[in-house]
Amino acid sequence: MAAIEASHQTKQVVKTLTDWTLREPGNASRRIHLHFLKAPHEVLGEDGKVVGVRVERTALNGDGTVSGTGEYIDYPVQAVYRAVGYWGTPIDGVPFDDAKGVIRNVEGRVVDESGTPVPAFYTTGWIKRGPVGLIGHTKSDAAETIAHLVEDAEQLFANSQAGPEQLSPDNLLRTLRERGVPVVQWRDWEVLDAHERSLGEPEGRERIKVVPREEMTDIALRRVVS
């Protein structure tokens, strides 16, 4: 209940799930069953084929986390699709929360172990809050971080050793390119967007997504012939 009251996002998720539990079953040809408080433990197989999945019963710890109970349940299944979440990767020199797999932060401001903000370090997205929420949540999450960045900007500039020219956006882009960092701007994204739409058009689809990061970057920066 404390988590619900502290987070509008959590409150909305709980409401959605609760509303569904109160609905009468429909006549759909297929159903989806959500098994809460169960963690994947082992995929069971015979003769090279999937025959089941073993899960461990978990129990709430009261702080938003769970622990295993040692009780296992086997379910007969014929196929398994891996979708067990996301775990962040630490960056050298940036405070990391090993228990949650995210950059340690308070509302997007990166903080050290004592909770003190690290100047000029900010984070957003799943590396900020973990793999939860939809696009709408991601947008509001980013807005929260940017609001803090704007709030801190004057002090950050005041504490900087750099002059106005060095702090200009043009100099930032130039410095990144000199270091070999590919920079994708809005006009470059539009090139990628057009490319993906052209891939989907012959199949009657809105687009076919280009997934590999390097390929996306190459297309956006016109380093390949589309």
Contact 152, 145 (CB under 8 A): no
Place of tokens 């799930």: 17
Check residue 167 and give its pLDDT: 77
Q: What is the pLDDT of residues 76-124, one digit of tens each?
A: 999 998 876 788 999 999 999 998 899 999 999 999 999 999 999 999 9
Task: Give residue 225's pLDDT.
Answer: 57
List the one residue out of 95, 104, 148 whose CA is nearest residue 129.
104
How do 96-97 and 102-103 pair as beta strands? antiparallel
Q: What angle do CA 169, 171, 176 make, to 5 degrees?
A: 95
Q: Give the pTM.
A: 0.55
Q: What is the average per-residue pLDDT within 15-33?
A: 85
- State yes or no: pLDDT of 184 exceeds 90: yes
Average pLDDT over residues 209-213: 92
pLDDT at 109: 97
Enter the DSSP assignment of 203: G
**Which long-range CB contacts under 8 A does 77-82 form with residues at least 24 apart?**
77/50, 77/51, 77/52, 77/53, 78/49, 78/50, 78/51, 79/50, 80/43, 80/50, 80/53
Q: What are the structural domain ranges in the chain? A: 2-19+33-76, 96-160, 186-220
pLDDT above 90 covers what percent of the chain?
58
Q: Is the pLDDT of residue 226 over 50?
A: no
